[in-house]
């Protein structure tokens, strides 16, 4: 199908983005006219809009083959379709978990929801990016929305500091990305990733390596790979927990897409070069993330370092430089997002008005106080540690398998060793919840049925996908091959 | 029924465990009875398993195979042969006394306690009956979770240290096995253990894979020098946890050597059997001496377990020395026979001994040998059982302990006089530490006022120790059925182990 043929059918493929842009406006207007009088109504509307969006996507944007639109700057393929559905779902569940939290802290504002939607739009643009400009557009839209979300609680100095750090460091990374892109553009004369993929086919070219270095640094920064991870613990820790939940989940899908579209697709001809750069990054990320997480006493910081450790695994998937590695990274990303939704959800549900359950000791004896919450958290912790029968095990298995296929013996050894180190601090959370007695006087956990039910489904999904992993594994493999 | 028998043996206890969990502590009376009924029902399922088992073939029986992850050629594949079937029965058999032993004793979160043991039972049956390496690993690792909770929740004062050490130690050992299994899968194109066994491998590959397997299995057995988690775990674990650890979980290491190491990397085993025999002899002799000086009853039995498992690993790796010295594979099965009998027998005896310690601990809340003395005066029936199991532990003829040790020592004699001479030291050392324990705890004048107030076994305790005593004696005087069931599988294993897989 030629690019120029703009008919309804091709436009439908871009429906998720168009719908989301419209929904963003609707939410802003709704907040301006209704939201002031009825706090919370905007949140309900946003959830509804997200569900409708997912429905419309299934109905109209279910592409069966790769389609390139808008003069080659946009791509719609089955992978984009699945990732966008995952994005809708992730943001919807995240907002559902956050509602009571926002209300208790007087930040239940329409703008919060509008920013979530614009961040999601940024993620979608990244997912479907097929030219350097679209990539950059997506990166910035996502980043700017998230900076604002981190600073959303105006009263909190910590949040403002975190947002400032994130903004300054993020801007440097964006600059790096632009600089690298401009070098690649200079070498190839095209912005289209398809065009670059054709033009750049000889590895070990000094100019390409220079451009790649900047691009890899920017991607590593966005994903949170060591040594470009400094922002991540501060942002996770300083931001309101609902924002941490947001930052820790949906954008991971976007940054996976960033690495896939930009590196694995656009720069496929020089895979050897960038995969070689990713290997030391991944090793450092695994070691630093897992080791530093042990020393944390704040659960949000601990989970931040744990995120870094998981990013190490995802980067390893890319470092293998094969389609199987990318599909392993995709699987890992989706599984990680599912688990992160769950454990940040638990942190949110354990917090109440005027009380942030962010110290590890706040989880002492959680079993006595709230058995269901503790059970969900225990399942999620075992899953993130990579212990069967939970789904986290398969994610690690897929990465190790991809590394074996490419004969990366030492990477296999480092991956399995660091996951043993990681098991320690996840077990510590279980230990606190199950083996210790609860301290006196902690506020009761959130008891609202709907949220708890959603969290229960989330935790159950970790178990069910662990016992029957075939469908999701299969899907991820099909989407990449 | 036969097609799904193994599935039932796995999922019935797990499902029952979930039901007990849902019944909760409020309905614990119903929960307890349900747990007992479930464990008995699982044991009853072993009846058709034993009766329907043909001891004329080495092939897998009660086979079930369904697609699990088609893209990676992993199957939900189950089956048992002469090596795994007795271990499945042992698992089902030992879970019943564990449930009964916790009956009134466990007052803290009892529903979870019984649920954890039922779920453990299902997972352990899964380990023994998986014919697919990925499924095997799935159960192997999943098992850590209930055990972690059992030690951590119902354990002694240093339970947190012990349980995290236990988890990380075994996890560390296992992840390298996973790496090896994935490597084998990529070469064989399937996760089926049979395919791994048929796969030709160079000596270098075999050595690496052997090392990865060794880490996983040696930690589990445990072999010297990676045994240090076991005494901690045993001392801190509740009675039931100790019983399952000693009776079943340690056997998984031995089972791993038989199912994975010998048939998949036979050439590496042949090359490194000296190392394995040395490690086994160190476990038998050095750990035997360590056991002698223990002050804590559970610690003493834990060290005794390590020494007895040394007999098992010795029996397993004697194959090559026997073939080399006799020139035929005819006698080579003897060491393996001994190892298998020793595993089953040690499961019964160590389980029984831990239950005996549990009986004393429930009354006195102490495991220190020094706190006891003259128990026979106040608990004559208990003393009878304790002495019986202690004698079985030393390998007295007529008890199951004798059969396994005798076979292994006989086999080591065929391999080398010195192996036999050193291995036979176990008889002296085991007699030393076990009988000295019995002398200090059971015999002599009444040690103190607390001992004077002890009451003898109640009906519940009598029942479980009685059943175990019958099993120990039965296996001791009539091991023939067990040996017969194993025979074809052991012979097949000897052929596999003696063959070479190096591609020419």
Give residue-wise pLDDT tens across range A463-472: 999 999 999 9
pLDDT per residue rounded down to tens, chain B (504 residues): 577 899 999 999 999 999 999 988 888 889 999 999 999 999 999 999 999 998 888 888 899 999 999 988 999 999 999 999 999 999 999 999 999 988 888 888 889 999 999 999 999 999 999 999 999 999 999 999 999 999 999 988 888 999 999 999 999 999 999 999 999 999 999 999 999 999 999 999 999 999 999 999 999 988 988 899 999 888 888 988 999 999 999 999 999 999 999 999 999 999 998 999 999 999 999 999 999 999 899 999 999 999 999 999 999 998 888 888 877 777 788 889 999 999 999 999 999 999 999 998 888 888 888 888 888 888 889 999 999 999 999 988 889 989 989 999 988 888 888 888 898 888 889 999 999 999 988 888 887 888 888 888 888 889 999 999 999 999 988 988 888 999 899 989 988 888 888 887
- Is residue A5 over pLDDT 60? no
Supply the pLDDT for residue A447.
82
A324 contacts in chain B (CB < 8 Å) = none
Euclidean distance between CA atoms B213 and B253, whole angstroms: 10
Report the share of chain A in percent with pLDDT over 90: 72
pLDDT for position B367: 87
Phi, then psi, of A355 in degrees rounded to 5: -140, 120
Q: Provide the chain B residues 156-175 that lie in CB contact (below 8 A) with chain A.
A: 159-160, 163-164, 167-168, 171-172, 175
- For residue B154, list chain A residues with Cβ-Cβ distance below 8 A: none
DSSP string across A391-451 = HHHHHHHHHHHHHHHTT-HHHHHHHHHHHHHHHHHHHHHHHHHHHSPPPS--PPPP--HHH
| Torsion angle defined by CA atoms of residues B489, B493, B494 and B496, in that order, rounded to the nearest 10 degrees | 140
Q: What is the pLDDT of residues B256-278, one digit of tens each?
A: 999 999 999 999 999 998 999 99
CB contact under 8 A, B183 and A404: yes
**Distance in Å, alpha carbon of B20 to nearest chain A alpha carbon:** 15
Which residues make Cβ contacts (< 8 Å) with residue A30, sequence separation at least 6?
Answer: A41, A42, A45, A110
Q: Is the pLDDT of residue A144 over 90?
A: yes
Residue A439 Rama label (left phi>0; alpha psi -120 to 50; beta): beta
Compare CB distances from B152 to A416, A419, A434 and report the shortest one's residue. Answer: A434
Is the distance from CB of B213 to CB of B177 less than 8 angstroms?
yes
Predicted local confidence at residue B501, as pLDDT: 84
Q: How far apart are CA B489 and CA B498, in angstroms?
A: 14
Which residues in chain A are contacts of B183 at CB distance < 8 A? 404
Q: Is residue A2 pLDDT above 50, yes or no? A: no
What pLDDT is stored for residue A1 in this prediction? 43
H-state helical runs in B52-102 = 84-101
Q: What is the pLDDT of residue A6?
A: 59
Q: What is the pLDDT of residue A66?
A: 87
CB pairs under 8 A between A and B: 79
Q: What is the pLDDT of residue B1?
A: 58
Which residue from B minimizes the CA distance to A477?
B71
Q: CB–CB of B168 and A424 under 8 A?
A: yes
What is the pLDDT, as a whole number, of residue B303? 93
Minimum mean pLDDT among A11-25, A349-363, B320-334, B363-377: which range?
A: B320-334
Test A473 with B72 for CB contact under 8 angstroms.
yes
CB contact under 8 A, A420 and B186: no
As a whole number, mean pLDDT of residues A46-69 equals 89
Which pairs from B224-227 meet CB under 8 Å and 24+ separation? B224/B279, B224/B282, B224/B283, B224/B286, B224/B287, B224/B306, B224/B310, B226/B169, B226/B173, B227/B283, B227/B287, B227/B306
What is the mean predicted confidence (pLDDT) over A216-229?
93
Q: Which carries the bigger pLDDT value, residue A202 or residue A346?
A: A346
As a whole number, mean pLDDT of residues A184-192 equals 92
Handedness of CA B348, B350, B353, B355 (dihedral sign): negative
pLDDT at residue A4 tops 80: no
- Find out whether A438 and A364 touch, Cβ atoms under 8 Å: yes
pLDDT for res A295: 92
pLDDT average, residue stretch A289-305: 93
ipTM of the complex: 0.91
Report whether the peptide linkage leading into residue A371 is cis, meaning its omega lies within 30 degrees of zero.
no
- Determine contact: B72 vs chain A, CB below 8 A: yes
């Amino acid at each position: 199908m030629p690019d120029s043929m703009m008919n309804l059918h091709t436009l439908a493929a871009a429906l998720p983005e168009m719908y989301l842009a419209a929904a963003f406006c609707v939410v802003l207007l709704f907040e301006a006219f209704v939201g002031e009088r009825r706090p919370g109504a905007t949140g309900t509307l946003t959830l509804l809009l997200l569900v409708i969006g997912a429905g419309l996507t299934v109905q109209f944007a279910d592409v069966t083959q790769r389609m390139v639109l808008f003069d080659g700057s946009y791509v719609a393929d089955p992978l984009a379709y699945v990732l966008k559905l995952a994005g809708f779902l992730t943001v919807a569940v995240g907002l559902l978990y956050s509602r009571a939290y926002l209300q208790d802290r007087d930040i239940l504002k329409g703008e919060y929801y509008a920013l979530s939607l614009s961040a999601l739009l940024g993620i979608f643009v990244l997912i479907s990016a097929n030219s350097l400009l679209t990539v950059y557009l997506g990166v910035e839209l996502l980043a700017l929305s998230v900076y604002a979300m981190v600073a959303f609680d105006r009263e909190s100095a910590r949040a403002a500091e975190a947002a400032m750090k994130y903004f300054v460091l993020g801007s440097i990374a964006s600059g790096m990305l632009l600089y690298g892109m401009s070098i690649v553009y200079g070498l190839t004369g095209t912005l289209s990733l398809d065009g670059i993929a054709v033009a750049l086919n000889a590895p070990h070219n000094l100019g390409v390596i220079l451009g790649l270095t900047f691009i890899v640094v920017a991607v590593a920064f966005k994903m949170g790979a060591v040594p470009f991870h400094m922002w991540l613990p501060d942002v996770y820790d300083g931001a309101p927990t609902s924002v941490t939940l947001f930052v820790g989940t949906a954008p991971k899908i976007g940054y996976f897409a960033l690495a896939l579209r930009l590196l694995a697709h656009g720069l496929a001809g020089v895979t050897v070069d960038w995969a070689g750069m990713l290997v030391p990054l991944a090793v450092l990320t695994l070691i630093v993330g897992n080791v530093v997480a042990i020393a944390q006493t704040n659960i949000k910081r601990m989970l931040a370092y744990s995120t870094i450790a998981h990013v190490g695994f995802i980067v390893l998937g890319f470092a293998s430089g094969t389609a199987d590695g990318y599909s392993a990274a995709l699987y890992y990303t989706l599984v990680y997002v599912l688990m992160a939704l769950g454990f940040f959800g638990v942190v949110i549900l354990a917090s109440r008005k005027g009380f942030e359950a962010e110290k590890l000791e706040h989880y002492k004896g959680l079993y006595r106080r709230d058995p269901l919450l503790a059970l969900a958290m225990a399942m999620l912790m075992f899953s993130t540690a990579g212990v069967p029968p939970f789904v986290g095990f398969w994610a690690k298995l897929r990465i190790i398998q991809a590394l074996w296929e490419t004969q990366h013996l030492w990477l296999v050894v480092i991956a399995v060793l660091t996951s043993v180190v990681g098991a320690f601090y996840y077990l510590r959370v279980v230990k606190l919840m199950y083996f210790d007695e609860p301290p006196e006087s902690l506020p009761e956990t959130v008891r609202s049925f709907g949220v708890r039910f959603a969290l229960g489904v989330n935790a159950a999904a970790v178990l069910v996908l662990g016992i029957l992993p075939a469908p999701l594994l299969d899907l991820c493999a099909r989407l990449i091959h | 029924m036969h097609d799904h028998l193994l599935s039932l043996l796995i999922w019935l206890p797990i499902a029952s465990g979930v039901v007990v969990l849902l019944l909760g502590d409020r309905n614990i009376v119903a929960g307890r009875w349900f747990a007992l009924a479930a464990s008995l029902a699982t044991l009853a399922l072993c009846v058709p398993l034993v009766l329907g088992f043909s001891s004329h073939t080495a092939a897998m029986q009660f086979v079930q195979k369904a697609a699990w992850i088609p893209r990676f050629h992993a199957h939900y594949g189950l089956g048992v042969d002469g090596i795994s079937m007795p271990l499945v029965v042992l698992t089902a058999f030992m879970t019943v006394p564990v449930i009964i032993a916790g009956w009134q004793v466990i007052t803290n979160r009892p529903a979870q306690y019984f649920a954890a043991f039922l779920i453990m039972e299902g997972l352990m049956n899964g380990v023994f009956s998986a014919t697919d390496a990925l499924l095997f690993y799935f159960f192997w690792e999943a098992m850590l979770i209930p055990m972690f909770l059992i030690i951590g929740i119902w354990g002694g004062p240093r339970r947190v240290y012990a349980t995290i050490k236990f988890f990380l130690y075994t996890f560390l050992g296992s992840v390298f096995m996973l790496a090896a299994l994935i490597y084998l899968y990529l070469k064989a194109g399937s996760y089926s253990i049979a395919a791994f066994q048929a796969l030709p491998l160079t000596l270098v590959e075999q050595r690496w894979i052997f090392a990865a397997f060794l880490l996983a299995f040696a930690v589990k057995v445990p072999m010297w020098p990676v045994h240090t988690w076991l005494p901690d775990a045993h001392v801190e674990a509740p009675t039931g946890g100790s019983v399952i650890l000693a009776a079943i979980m340690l056997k998984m290491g031995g089972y791993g050597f038989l199912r994975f190491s010998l048939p998949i990397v036979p050439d590496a085993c042949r090359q490194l059997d000296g190392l394995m025999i040395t490690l086994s002899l160190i476990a038998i002799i050095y750990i035997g001496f360590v056991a002698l000086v223990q002050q804590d009853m559970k610690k003493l039995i834990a060290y005794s377990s390590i020494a007895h498992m040394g007999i098992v690993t010795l029996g397993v790796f004697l194959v090559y020395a026997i073939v080399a010295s006799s020139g035929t594979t005819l006698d080579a099965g003897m060491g393996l026979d001994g190892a298998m009998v020793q595993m089953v027998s040690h499961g019964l005896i160590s389980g029984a001994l831990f239950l005996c310690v549990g009986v004393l601990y429930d009354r006195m809340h102490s495991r220190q040998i020094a706190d006891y003395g003259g128990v026979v005066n106040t608990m004559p029936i208990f003393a009878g059982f304790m002495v019986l199991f202690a004698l079985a532990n030393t390998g007295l003829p007529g008890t199951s302990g004798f059969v396994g040790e005798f076979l292994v020592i006989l086999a080591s004699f065929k391999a080398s006089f010195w192996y036999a001479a050193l291995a036979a030291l176990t008889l002296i050392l085991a007699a030393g530490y076990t009988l000295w324990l019995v002398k200090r705890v059971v015999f002599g004048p009444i040690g103190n006022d607390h001992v004077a107030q002890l009451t003898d076994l109640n009906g519940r305790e009598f029942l479980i120790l009685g059943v175990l005593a019958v099993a120990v004696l039965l296996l001791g005087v009539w091991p023939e059925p067990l040996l017969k069931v194993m025979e074809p599988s052991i012979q097949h294993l000897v052929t596999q182990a003696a063959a070479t897989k190096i591609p020419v």
